Amino acid sequence: VLGRSGIYSAYSTGRGSIVMRGRVNVEARGNDRESIVITEVPYQVNKSSMIEKMAELVRDKRIEGISDIRDESDRQGYRVVIELKRDAVADVILNQLYRFTPLQTSFGANMVALNGGKPELLTLTDMLKAFVAFREDVISRRTKFLLRKARDRAHVLVGLAIAVANIDEVIKLIRSAPDPQTAREQLMERRWPSGDVESLILLIDDPRHRINEDGTYNLSEEQARAILELRLQRLTALGRDEIADELNTIGAEIVDYLDILSSRARIQQIVKDELAAVRDEFGTPRRTELSEGGADMEDEDLIQREDMVVTVSHS
């Protein structure tokens, strides 16, 4: 890429013309001759079309000084060799190739994107702001989903903890019920002492399910179903510590999710961390070389320099 003005224009206004050149080396060969070797072409330039254009210019004698053009590209890489005549000057031939062939071309940057569902010409700053806002929204929605999922699991665990804390009464109720539906309804209607489970209920901080004013707790339909789906043998084998450990883990996750949702600074830090992770996993060194040289050429740059003698006489 030649110069930074086109890039700056594209980034600051949304439109710009970026001048690109192929990567070229001049190699010396025998008999005081040189070759121009092209190892890369500009973006979206077709190699075959470029070679055909060069050959056409040589045939029409618009470019002189070229004796042969060969495509030596293979699996090892891209290589087009342009052999020069003995008296040809490589810099002049290169300037002619830049001027008349796709070896130098420009790419029109038109930074139009859908913003809020509508096409809009955006600057780089606009794009970055829109992308950051999008990532913040994604992280917020993802965190809300994880919070809801954690609370749903914790809600079931609280029901199991209530059952374990009142295991004898729960088993008696299930055995005396004529059918599962009646057992479920009786489990939900009864006010169960929260006891040691109260701290776990407060830990998960689920606004949908609270402790009653008298310290009791009513099981929801989901909790009652979870209790009935367990065999009595499995229900009696459940340990209060086992349930408490999982609830404590989930409770810590819930606290973290709530903190994320209440702090934009944390959401922004997550955006940074995730972008850094993508960079570390997929980042590659820049392949395009940014050159400070200008792309403008004068007509004199296309003419081989020769020593001349000018005689001036007075009549």
For position 292, what pLDDT does the model report? Answer: 76
From CA 86, how far away is CA 69, in angstroms rounded? 15
Same-domain pairing of 106 and 154: no
CATH code for the domain of 93: 3.30.1360.40
From CA 19, how far away is CA 42, in angstroms rounded? 9
For position 313, what pLDDT does the model report? Answer: 80
For position 232, what pLDDT does the model report? Answer: 66
Same-domain pairing of 101 and 129: no
Q: What are the structure tokens assigned to 38, written together?
A: 């092209």
For position 315, what pLDDT does the model report? Answer: 65
Same-domain pairing of 251 and 293: no
For position 211, what pLDDT does the model report? Answer: 84
Same-domain pairing of 72 and 26: yes
Sign of CA pseudo-dihedral 189, 193, 197, 203: positive
Residue 312 belongs to some domain of the structure? no
Residue 47 belongs to some domain of the structure? yes
**Each residue of 226-244: pLDDT tens digit?**
888 877 666 666 667 788 8
Residue 276 belongs to some domain of the structure? no
For position 217, what pLDDT does the model report? Answer: 87
Same-domain pairing of 243 and 137: yes
Element (H, E) at 104: strand 104-110
Same-domain pairing of 109 and 139: no
The low-confidence residues of the chain, meaning pLDDT below 50, are none
Domain region containing 295: 5-114+289-302
Domain count of the chain?
Answer: 2
**Each residue of 141-199: pLDDT tens digit?**
999 999 999 999 988 888 888 888 888 898 899 899 999 999 999 999 999 888 777 87
Are 215 and 198 a contacting pair, CB within 8 Å?
A: yes
For position 241, what pLDDT does the model report? Answer: 75
Element (H, E) at 34: strand 33-40
Q: What are the structure tokens assigned to 293, written together?
A: 């040289």
Same-domain pairing of 109 and 138: no
Same-domain pairing of 135 and 105: no
Query: What is the value of pTM for the model shown?
Result: 0.74
Helix axes 5-13, 124-165, angle to 10 degrees: 60
Same-domain pairing of 59 and 97: yes
Residue 155 belongs to some domain of the structure? yes
Find the length of the chain.
315
CATH code for the domain of 163: 1.10.268.10
For position 202, what pLDDT does the model report? Answer: 78
Residue 209 belongs to some domain of the structure? yes
Residue 272 belongs to some domain of the structure? no
Helix, strand, or coil (residue 218): strand
Same-domain pairing of 136 and 98: no
Residue 279 belongs to some domain of the structure? no
Same-domain pairing of 130 and 236: yes
Residue 203 belongs to some domain of the structure? yes
Same-domain pairing of 107 and 144: no
